[in-house]
A and B are shown apart, each in its own frame.
Chain A
Amino acid sequence: MKRREFFAAASSLMLPVMLDGVGVRSFAKGSAMVESLRQTSALNNDRILVIVYLGGGNDGLNTVIPLEYYSEYNQLRSNIAIPESSVLKLAGNLETGFHPAMTGMRAMYDEGKLAIVHSVSYPNPNLSHHRSTDIWMTGVDSSQYASSGWAGRYLDDRFPSYPQNYPNGEMEDPLAVQIGQITATALLGPQQSMGITLQDPATFYQLIGEPNTTIDSNLPCCDAGDLINYIRQQQVLTIGFGSEIKKAAEAGVNLAAYPPASQNNELAEKLKIVARLIHGGLKSKIYYVELGGFDTHAEQVGTSSTEGLHAQLLKKLSDGIAAFQNDLKLQGTENKVLGMTFSDFGRRATSNASKGTDHGIGAPMFVFGTGIKRQLVGNNPDLINGLLPLTPTANNTNRDIKMQIDFRRVYADILNDWFGSAASKTDQFLFSNFNTTSLFSDFVQSISSGSWINPEIWSNGRVPDAGSTIKINPGHIVEVGHNITAKNVKVEQGGELKFLGDYNVNITG
């Protein structure tokens, strides 16, 4: 191909795109203005969140197994129960174990890099896949609707008026990157997606070609005009971000071993790309990946309950996340990356006759990375007194797992403590104020008045132990009916420890 022909062909790949008369490359990369902006950049906070969505509703009770209630567990789901001897034991935690396929995540737990948040859900749970996933992604009450996602609202606030004039000197990379196909609601901003979606950085760049500017910014009326505008913006952004992504993908290296291709671990493949982009210096704040197939109404176990569909899925999850974490460690990027998993909802405690489980309520979330300060939020679901409905009727033997932790408390901690968002902003993103879970905090605090031994009054959903540093918040009266041992107890002004008898506080810190 002749040179002239080449240029012509290359430019013909481009589309008539222009935003407010500003070409996407108007901030040339090496320009003085851009350089000065970069040096004084407000974005030196380089923390990253990786969201892992388990599509279909993960069966929590076969993922995180409550060993302390093993016989009740076995009774509820004898056709799919994991044998007690096969459950993976956790360091320093006798009450809880992992599915035998989760060796990688068990090792992360033992190293202090993985937290379990027990029985996460929201009030008045909705058991439709679509609606419940939407509630999780948009971060609303089950009676509310929002068309933007929780992460999208955060990014929209942090990078105002995106996508006009992005990429620019201040933020030259996509705000969020989804490895996959159709963009997830969690990343939707008030107007549109705050991220870009790609399958693979190499082909992505080939697909989009080179930028071009042109002519006609007029739009037809009505919805057609909105759609054309939207598609043109996607074209501009894609082209604008394409080279940055390519550069990061080329500069980044995977240093850890990932599961071999023969295992078809699609989650691991996606996380591998994420690790490469992070290592390559992409400044995107949020990455989003999915692993589907968790809607296990039938045959979630095989001939043996430690094999089958669910075991394969958990192996993919655990192997993928463990390889990713190891990669970050070897790259030296470990301390700036936090990961979390979520799913549509949990599944019923009682199994069905098809060796499966129907849609249910509470299920564990995992939060992982070196940034976590505690590994347990909430307790194992109480399989003796804590199942729903509280008093089953004769023809309703189907039991469910009660919520302990509202998922938005975890979101609030991530926004406040991980990203450093102002508390008032976080409340705005989540439409309400949510109590902390102390996931990123050294101390446990009271979140309401009540008896010391009631886990619900403590931010981490657990009764404090001898190693806890405790803060009693103003307005909270905590009643003490026994001797207490703790590392430290601080009673804020207006808070109160009310002793119901002659009991001691033994401070060990």
Chain B
Amino acid sequence: MAYLDTYTNLLTSATAAHLLRRATFGPTRQEIIDFTGKTAQQAVELLISNAALGVSVAPPVEMDETRSDAGQPFLNKPFDHSRSGVYNNYIQYWWLGLMTEQKGRPSVLEKLTAFWQNHFVTAHTIVEDYRFVDRYIRFLRANALGNFKDLAIGITKDPAMLVFQNGFQNTKELPNENYGRELQELFTVGQKDFAGNNNYTEEDVKAAARVLTGWQVTNRNNIGSTSFGSTFNPVRHDISDKSFSEKYNNTVITGRSGESAGDGELLDLVNMLLAHPETPKFICRKLYRWYVNPNVTQEIEDQVIIPLATFFASPANNYAIMPVVKKLLSSNIFFDTRNIGAIVKSPAELVIGTIRFFDQPVPDLTTEFVPFRVMMNYIYFSLRLLEQNFLDQPSVFGFVPYYQTGYSKNWINGTTLGLRGVRTDALSNPGPVIKPDYVLGIDILKELRTIQPNFEDVAGTSAITCEQVLQRFTANLFAIELSQAQQDFLIDQIMMKGSSPRATWQHEWNAYRSTPQDETKQNVIFWRCRALLKYILRMAEFQLF
């Protein structure tokens, strides 16, 4: 079985759920049903074609109902410095909304954009100007499935990146090396190859910085301005030739002058970086760690990373991203048992994934902007507390668990385990009020009524059992199915509190069926099911995906 060959079994609910957990921020139960029975190829093609539906979406709006411009888009208005912090948050809410929405058309778009956002990192607290942040994230979304070369060129000139990595202060007199280094170390060739050899030299950093001299940004934080962007200023550009080391086959980038010098040399630079044999491997390894398993062994390097990289950079593919994502997500290795549950959920996968799994709808951004704000504010603070604040990473390396030894294990420690539990506990109880008729949290009674046939016929139709209740809450919830011993423990020790036989549940449930408006009867159901849900969502197994 070649690891990268297409997985040919029809998707079961378990493998469909695996694909959806990895390709999106987590499936709804309906999506799992919809994808069951497809081939891996059909499923992945659908996830990719659905991305096209999501590219063009309504812009963020003013979400403060006390303001006269509430509900109106703000990005098309003259720059308002006083709203900078708030608008940056709205842009974050807008994106979190897209990750969380459930329109029944799951796509790879937001998860892949998040990959690029954590790859080509900028942070809004440093960039500041919200229009820059908006342009940056839209650029990544629009090119997430496009061509890596376009991404590398575009991001280098992106105003947010020019600010974040000091590219706009990089001049021939005194080059600022920040971006010249990160472009190589983090964005393209990577610092070292798999065997630990350096992929470039310190002199290459200096030479790259000189290639990139002269770029500037316009109207950043300029109150009332209606346009902004990046420009190339030939006066600040170093026109001398730039020589690179043998790591780049001693490439010399010819120094140029005039208006087109910046673009011309940048193209040469990116061509040189993409011709480095480590670049496609670096990107493919990072994609593998994001989608399949952070643990890259020599076998995986040889059998997956190298062939995928060869394909990525091949003349026929020429750095197109979409075919690589498609190949990886529909491969045998992706569905291999050893890779199921092999990653610790990031806070987004935990929080957004749980919200999606239990069908918590997202209010419409434009028509219900206040409920939208309330819900996204809740998600935003949850992720921020757990150290995953998108568009505001702690450093240019992105979130620590995507690069530090131990990788996704780094999401877990004493404090974060507690905090994760507190956030999932909130979903087993009634949580924040999103709007008068919508309280965030698992609707236990509604969930159970959907599995009780003939709800009102108490005498004629027997009550759902503990096993059915557990099944309702846990089917396809875990990447790793629970053992029989664990299921028994959950029912007898948690749901039945180690004190009542299972049949007691059916009496209690029937008592509720007889008088569904009786609060004391309802409370018994809540008492058992909330304890169960709380426990389930705190289990080590639930932290994996």
A residues apposed to B, CB below 8 Å: 5, 8-9, 12-16, 55-56, 127-131, 134, 143, 145, 147, 181-183, 185, 188, 192-193, 196-199, 203-204, 206-209, 214-216, 218, 220-224, 227-228, 230-232, 234-235, 237-238, 241-242, 292, 295, 297-298, 351-354, 356, 358-359, 395-396, 398
Contacts and interface: CB of A to CB of B under 8 A. Distances in A.
Nearest to A17: B540
Given A147-B405, A232-B540, A182 B410 contact: yes
Given A223-B338, A354-B169, A235 B417 contact: yes
A378 to B, nearest CB: 24
Q: How large is the interface on B (under 10, 10 to 19, 20 to 34, 35 or more residues)?
A: 35 or more
B397 A130 contact: yes
B494 interface: yes
A55 B394 CA distance: 11
A103 to B, nearest CB: 29
A181 B415 contact: yes
Contacts of A223: 293, 295, 338-339, 341-342
A238 B417 contact: yes
B149 interface: no
Given A353-B171, A359-B181, A182 B401 contact: yes
A235 B400 contact: no
Given A198-B415, A207-B422, A224 B489 contact: no
B535 interface: yes
Interface in B481-495: 483, 485-486, 489, 493-494
A55 B483 CA distance: 44
Contact of A358 (B178, B343, B413, B419): B178
Interface string B516-541: 00000000000100011011001111
B387 interface: yes
Contacts of B412: 230-231, 234
Given A16-B486, A359-B177, A359-B181, A197 B540 contact: no
B261 to A, nearest CB: 18
16 contacts: A12-B494, A13-B534, A128-B181, A129-B397, A196-B413, A197-B414, A197-B416, A216-B486, A218-B483, A222-B338, A228-B544, A231-B417, A234-B417, A237-B414, A353-B169, A359-B177
A395 B419 CA distance: 53
A147 B401 CA distance: 14
B414 A352 contact: no
Contacts of B145: none
A35 B186 CA distance: 53
B536 to A, nearest CB: 10
Contacts of B174: 351-354
Nearest to A188: B405
Contacts of A192: 406, 409
Interface in B309-353: 337-344
B483 A199 contact: no
Contacts of B405: 134, 147, 185, 188
A480 B346 CA distance: 64
Contacts of B240: 395
A241 B181 contact: no
Contacts of B396: 129
B413 A16 contact: no
A204 B418 contact: yes
B196 interface: yes
Contacts of B177: 358-359
A298 B176 contact: yes
A241 B532 CA distance: 26
B202 interface: yes
Leading 7 A-B pairs by shortest Cβ distance: A207-B418, A224-B341, A353-B174, A238-B414, A354-B169, A231-B540, A223-B342
